[in-house]
Amino acid sequence: MEFVNEMRLEFRALAENEAFARLAVSGFLLPLDPTLEALADVKTAVSEAVTNAVVHAYPDEPGTVRLRAGYDADGTVEIDVIDRGRGIEDVEKARQPFFTTADGDERSGMGFTVMESFMDRVSVRSAPGKGTTVRLYKRIAPRDEAVPRRA
């Protein structure tokens, strides 16, 4: 993808940084003039991916989460959420609805499913012991593109 704009961020894998990540991405996307709905979709997906890095990646002490985002001239957005944590043994299994390795009632195993439903595409690369990269794609149509043109 050829980006016309891009950004990078790095922060500690702490729950209090989920809102920061979400707001940073939505601020970055404002030049695309997104609808509130599109922005909410992206924020939700970013939230899920960052939450996963916070909750699952670093069982011992909080490591670092890296966030990268960029968009091309057509308004297609690519967002990477990267950790260098424990990684995922079986990505295909982890992506299934209701699959969770967390015990207790707090996790429903729906994070990846939510990301998939709010974004156009989600790719996951992971290696046990090395970390995980979740890549989210979505085309953000400018607000006026949805308005029917007059003859």
Ligand X SMILES: Nc1ncnc2c1ncn2[C@@H]1O[C@H](COP(=O)(O)OP(=O)(O)OP(=O)(O)O)[C@@H](O)[C@H]1O
Which residues of the chain form contacts with ligand X (CB under 6 A)?
A: 48, 52-53, 55-57, 83, 85-88, 94, 99-102, 107-112, 132
CB 112, CB 122: distance < 8 Å: yes
Catalytic residue among 17, 52, 78, 84: 52
CB 25, CB 67: distance < 8 Å: yes
**Piece of 32-40, 47-55, 80-88, 132-140 that binds Mg ion (CB under 5 A):** 47-55
Catalytic residue among 18, 48, 78, 84: 48
As a whole number of angstroms, the distance between CA 29 and CA 77 comes to 8
Interface with Mg ion, residue 132, by CB under 5 A: no
Look up residue 146 and give its two tokens: 């949805």
- Give the angle 70-34-22 at the CA atoms, nearest 5°: 60
Question: Which listed residue (52, 132, 134, 140) binds Mg ion by CB under 5 A?
Answer: 52
Q: Give me the least distance between CB of 56 and Mg ion, in Å please.
A: 7
Q: How far is CA 118 from the centre of its chain?
A: 10
Interface with Mg ion, residue 70, by CB under 5 A: no
Please say if 125 is a catalytic residue.
Answer: no
Q: What is the DSSP string of 27-41?
A: HHHGGG---HHHHHH
Question: Which listed residue (34, 70, 85, 111) binds Mg ion by CB under 5 A?
Answer: 111
Q: Which amino acids are annotated catalytic?
A: 48, 52, 107
